[in-house]
């Protein structure tokens, strides 16, 4: 059987949904880092930039859209190493913005999987929403799947934990202002007899699609976005019913090739082959070795994508994520290498048609090499501290081992290795203590990732929306007070504050802070309307609207402005929204603090002062 490439699967999907009678318009994917969304770290779903249109705004390209969206998800970073999880992936997506719904979507995606990709229909299992007191059981999807020929025993009802989708979880977990709805997932069954290795056979108990034993692989999810959270325990139906389908390109390609391991598809096989040669090992022979090779391959690929998106390693935000990926890859490279001279290599993403702008190989490799050297210094510090403790007869307990991990990125395996070289052992109780602390750390990481994710474009809580508009006024006012050299260099908005970075040689004086606050609040008091226009990018540039100079925009953009008309607006910016309808909704604002964050770079924190 000839292998089907990921590029072929992507091309077939776009063509299938673009052709009649489906007739979807292909749209440009969003960049991994959204310049006009100051409230989220990364694009983690294709629907993220489309929230305003799912809520009812008119999209220039129409009501049927399709694309392949490169995405970063970090909630399950510790799961990377199995046969399916990745942090960087492509999400094939099609949307109906108040046009078609379940009776069209489910037959279409079934036709794509079976007729276009040639997946055996007997290998497909599906799940549907079992309902809650507020939202009915999804019997309609159940009947559609049954009519398509999916046997009843292969259609499973699951709770909101599994078959409800929003950017922040179940109806109970959703933030007020977020949208979501029930979904229906499609799983590919690799068969009970298949496994990653002989000694890791699937568990003997009865499997079901969501048991996560490795036999079933989710390859697509049709989300029916029809609700908005409007109160603590209250959902409200949206004015339109939407479809948001997402299917991981890597997973679908694995299913098409009958491979239960996504790391054997073409997007990863070349990286794995280079690692085999570099470390003189063979993939597929040892489960622990394979796990480390997958982590090195996946995290190196993800790091390449982030670096080429303009991120550099640091201890904060985007840079911290990149640093964490690189260092975790280096830890596992050391595990599989006899040599301590570890390194990570450039990955040529252009070979696979991944739709992101790429930076030159020498630039990407330089960033990887510099971070590798920094990590080696950290590792040396950890080993030195450990050796000192051993020489001083200090007990290396589970909490000490975890402190080494947390402070130096020093993995337990290296602690054990260092102790063994000194003829010392780590007790079972100490190992259990370390693992307990590590589990707690993982849970905190997931919570932190979810918290950042909750602040995304889909967060339409009143505080975030008010601060988003206020930040537009902040930028316009800073340019007026300090000069037009002021541009956005970074933003992050939560319910509590808006953090805004801009070029300036020193902190603002008390007089300048007072003047900026006064100007913004005077604009707010004028009760000016906040409007937007959708127009060709070239026309938008002619309006003088502020935009990110290093950002690649679509041919058609949205310009938000504050004032009665675009020509005489107080503020004009390229932006996806959301915003208040009138400045009077904001209330007054105050600059809480400011700080210098680098050479010629300042950061201010703006908060509501109501």
**Do 203 and 75 fall within a single domain?**
yes
DSSP state, 344? -
The answer to the question of residue 64 being in a domain is yes
Of 220, 244, 262, which residue is a domain's last?
A: 262
pLDDT of res. 437: 72
Give the rounded percent of residues in the chain with a pLDDT score beyond 90. Answer: 48
Greater confidence (567 vs 36) lies with 567
pLDDT of res. 401: 78
Is the pLDDT reported for residue 449 higher than 60?
no
Provide mean pLDDT across the span 370-394: 81
**Do 256 and 301 fall within a single domain?**
no
**Do 455 and 477 fall within a single domain?**
no
- For the segment 270-281, what is each residue's pLDDT rounded down to a tens digit? 999 999 999 999
**Do 427 and 533 fall within a single domain?**
no
Greater confidence (201 vs 240) lies with 240
Residue 116 in contact with residue 12, Cβ under 8 Å? yes
Provide mean pLDDT across the span 160-171: 89
What pLDDT band is residue 248 in, cutting at 50, 70 and 90? very high
Provide mean pLDDT across the span 234-244: 94
Lowest mean pLDDT among 100-104, 373-377, 407-411, 444-448: 444-448
Q: Which of 50-59, 187-196, 290-299 shows the highest mean pLDDT?
A: 290-299
Provide mean pLDDT across the span 363-383: 87
What pLDDT band is residue 201 in, cutting at 50, 70 and 90? very low
**Do 348 and 370 fall within a single domain?**
yes
The answer to the question of residue 324 being in a domain is yes
Greater confidence (3 vs 2) lies with 3
Is the pLDDT reported for residue 124 higher than 90?
yes
Is the pLDDT reported for residue 311 higher than 60?
yes
CATH assignment at residue 188? 3.30.930.10
Of 243, 262, 281, which residue is a domain's last?
A: 262
CATH assignment at residue 526? 3.30.980.10
**Do 132 and 105 fall within a single domain?**
yes
Residue 267 in contact with residue 352, Cβ under 8 Å? yes
pLDDT of res. 264: 95
- Give the burial string for 235-261 (b: 16+ CB within 10 Å, else e): beebebbbbbbbbbbbbbbbbbbbbbb
What pLDDT band is residue 199 in, cutting at 50, 70 and 90? very low
**Do 169 and 132 fall within a single domain?**
yes
- For the segment 49-106, what is each residue's pLDDT rounded down to a tens digit? 788 889 888 888 999 999 999 999 877 677 888 888 999 999 999 999 999 999 999 9
Q: Which of 110-124, 204-218, 227-241, 542-556 shows the highest mean pLDDT?
A: 110-124
DSSP state, 113? I
Greater confidence (418 vs 363) lies with 363
Domain that residue 437 falls in:
395-459
The answer to the question of residue 1 being in a domain is no
Is the pLDDT reported for residue 509 higher than 50?
yes
Give the rounded percent of residues in the chain with a pLDDT score beyond 70. Answer: 88
Greater confidence (595 vs 600) lies with 595
Angle 186-187-190 (CA atoms, 0-180°, nearest 5)? Answer: 155
pTM: 0.76
Greater confidence (296 vs 204) lies with 296
**Do 359 and 256 fall within a single domain?**
no
Other Cβ atoms closer than 10 A to 377: 10
**Do 330 and 431 fall within a single domain?**
no
Provide φ and ψ at 293, rounded to 5°. Answer: -65, -40
Is the pLDDT reported for residue 561 higher than 90?
yes
**Do 61 and 127 fall within a single domain?**
yes
DSSP state, 215? S
Provide mean pLDDT across the span 499-518: 92
What pLDDT band is residue 4 in, cutting at 50, 70 and 90? very high
Lowest mean pLDDT among 236-240, 385-389, 599-603: 385-389
Averaged confidence pLDDT in the chain: 86
Residue 377: CA count within 13 A, CB half-sphere: 6
Of 333, 354, 387, which residue is a domain's last?
A: 387
**Could you tell me which residues are beta bridge partners of residue 189?**
216
Is the pLDDT reported for residue 1 higher than 60?
no
- For the segment 510-537, what is each residue's pLDDT rounded down to a tens digit? 999 999 999 999 999 999 999 988 888 8
Greater confidence (144 vs 194) lies with 144
Provide mean pLDDT across the span 307-313: 89
Number of domains in the chain: 4
**Do 331 and 402 fall within a single domain?**
no
The answer to the question of residue 52 being in a domain is yes
**Do 31 and 178 fall within a single domain?**
yes
> CA nearest 471: which of 337, 567, 591, 322?
591
């Amino acid at each position: 059987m000839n292998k089907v490439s990921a590029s072929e699967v992507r091309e077939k999907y776009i063509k299938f949904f673009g052709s009649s009678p489906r007739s979807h318009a292909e749209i440009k994917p969003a960049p991994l880092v959204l310049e006009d969304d100051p409230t989220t770290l990364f694009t983690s779903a294709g629907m993220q930039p489309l929230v305003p249109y799912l809520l009812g705004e008119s999209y220039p390209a129409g009501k049927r859209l399709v694309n392949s969206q490169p995405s970063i998800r970090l909630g399950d970073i510790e799961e990377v190493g199995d046969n399916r999880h990745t942090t960087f992936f492509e999400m094939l997506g099609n949307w109906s913005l108040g046009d078609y719904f379940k009776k069209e979507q489910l037959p279409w995606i079934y036709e794509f999987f079976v007729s276009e990709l040639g997946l055996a229909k007997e290998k497909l299992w599906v799940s549907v929403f079992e309902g809650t007191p507020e939202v009915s059981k999804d019997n309609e999807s159940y009947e559609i799947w049954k009519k398509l020929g999916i046997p009843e025993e292969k259609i499973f009802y699951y709770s909101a934990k599994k078959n409800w989708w929003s950017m922040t979880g179940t109806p109970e977990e959703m933030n007020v202002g977020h949208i979501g709805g029930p979904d229906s997932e499609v799983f590919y069954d690799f068969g009970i007899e298949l496994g990653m290795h002989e000694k890791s056979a699937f568990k003997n108990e009865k499997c079901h699609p969501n048991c996560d034993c490795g036999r079933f692989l989710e390859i697509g999810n049709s989300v029916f976005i029809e609700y908005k959270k409007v109160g603590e325990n209250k959902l409200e139906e949206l004015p339109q019913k939407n479809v948001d389908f997402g299917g991981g390109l890597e997973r679908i390609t694995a299913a098409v090739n009958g491979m239960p391991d996504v790391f054997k598809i073409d997007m990863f096989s070349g990286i794995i082959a280079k690692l085999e040669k570099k470390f003189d090992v063979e993939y597929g022979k040892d489960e622990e070795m394979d796990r480390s090779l997958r982590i090195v391959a996946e995290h190196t690929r993800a790091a390449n994508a982030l670096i080429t998106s303009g991120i550099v390693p640091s201890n904060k935000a985007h840079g911290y994520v990149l640093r964490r990926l690189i260092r975790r890859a280096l830890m596992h490279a050391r595990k599989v290498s006899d040599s301590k001279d570890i390194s990570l290599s450039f990955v040529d993403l252009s070979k696979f048609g991944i739709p992101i702008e790429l930076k030159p190989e020498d630039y990407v490799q330089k960033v990887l090499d510099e971070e590798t050297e920094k990590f080696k210094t950290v590792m040396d510090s950890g080993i030195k501290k450990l050796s000192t403790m051993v020489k001083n007869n200090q007990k290396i307990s589970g909490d000490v081992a975890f402190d080494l991990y947390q402070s130096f990125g020093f993995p337990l395996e290296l602690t054990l290795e260092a102790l063994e070289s000194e003829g010392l052992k780590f007790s079972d109780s100490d190992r259990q203590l370390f693992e307990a602390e590590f589990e707690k750390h993982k849970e905190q990481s997931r919570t932190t990732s979810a918290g950042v994710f909750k602040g995304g474009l889909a967060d339409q809580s009143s505080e975030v929306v008010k601060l988003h508009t206020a930040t537009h006024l902040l930028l316009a006012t800073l340019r007026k007070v300090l000069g037009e050299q002021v541009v956005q260099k970074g933003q992050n908005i939560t319910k509590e504050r808006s953090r805004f970075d801009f070029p300036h040689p020193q902190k603002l004086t008390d007089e300048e802070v007072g003047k900026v606050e006064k100007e913004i609040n005077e604009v707010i008091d004028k009760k000016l309307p906040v409007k937007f226009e959708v127009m060709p990018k070239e026309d938008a540039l002619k309006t003088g609207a502020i935009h990110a100079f290093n950002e690649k925009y679509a041919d058609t953009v949205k310009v938000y402005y504050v004032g009665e008309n675009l020509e005489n607006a107080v503020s004009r910016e390229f932006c996806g929204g959301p915003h208040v309808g009138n400045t009077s909704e904001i209330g007054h604002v105050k600059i809480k603090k400011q700080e210098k964050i680098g050479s010629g770079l300042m950061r201010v924190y703006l908060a509501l002062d109501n």
